[in-house]
């Protein structure tokens, strides 16, 4: 799919605000930029946490109700059915899972979310916040990290990404 400048164009819709759901769009967006693809990212509902100044550095990984999360991340064999949700309900397990994921990411030299966003902006990605969600949450443009271009409606986003490959996360 081509953007107005003739490049391919990918658009990501980020709708979740957890640490594990932040990285798919960031990694794919960075890879796309590296391949000369124009990138637009639209943050809606809880996905706004990824670009909120007050939340971006405090994203968490919740082990409860996440059946795909393997406890091997926490050093527990992952072949025991039901173990992730059983352990996940214990007090403090979200903090533990979050800490362990951040440590793994650091070992792999994966940038924190805030730094990744800045890399994307520096690379030419366009970041937008969803107007309806911003209005629902009583937020303003000043609440977002540097690099968020504007607050736009879903219709605006659809118009600006016409012909793009759209990925919903």
In the chain, how many domains are there?
A: 1
* Residues linked to residue 148 through DSSP beta bridges, in sequence order: 127
In a domain, 77, yes or no: yes
Between CA 112 and CA 105, with CA 145 as vertex, the angle to 5 degrees is 5
Q: The tokens of 35 are what? A: 């391949």
For the segment 54-67, what is each residue's pLDDT rounded down to a tens digit?
999 999 987 766 65
CA 30 to chain centroid: 12
Residue 1 falls inside a structural domain:
no
Domain that holds residue 75: 9-168
**pLDDT, tens digit (0-9, with 9 covering 90-100), for 86-142:** 566 667 778 888 888 889 889 999 999 999 999 999 999 999 999 999 999 999 999
Q: What is the pTM of this model?
A: 0.84
Is residue 130 in some structural domain? yes
């Amino acid at each position: 799919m081509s953007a107005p400048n003739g490049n391919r164009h990918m658009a990501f819709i980020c709708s979740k605000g957890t640490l594990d759901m932040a990285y798919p769009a960031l990694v794919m967006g960075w890879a796309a930029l590296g391949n000369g693809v124009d990138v637009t990212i639209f943050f809606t509902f809880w996905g706004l946490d990824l670009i909120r100044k007050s939340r971006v550095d405090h994203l968490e990984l919740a082990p409860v109700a996440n059946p795909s999360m393997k406890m091997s991340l926490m050093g527990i064999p992952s072949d025991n059915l039901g173990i992730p949700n059983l352990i996940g309900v214990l007090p403090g397990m979200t903090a533990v899972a979050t800490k362990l994921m951040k440590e793994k990411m650091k070992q792999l030299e994966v940038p924190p979310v805030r730094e990744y966003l800045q890399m994307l902006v520096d690379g030419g990605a366009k970041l937008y916040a969803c107007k309806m969600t911003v209005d629902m949450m009583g937020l303003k443009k000043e609440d977002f990290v540097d690099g968020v271009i504007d607050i736009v409606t879903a219709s605006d986003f659809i118009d600006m990404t016409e012909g793009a490959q759209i990925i919903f996360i």
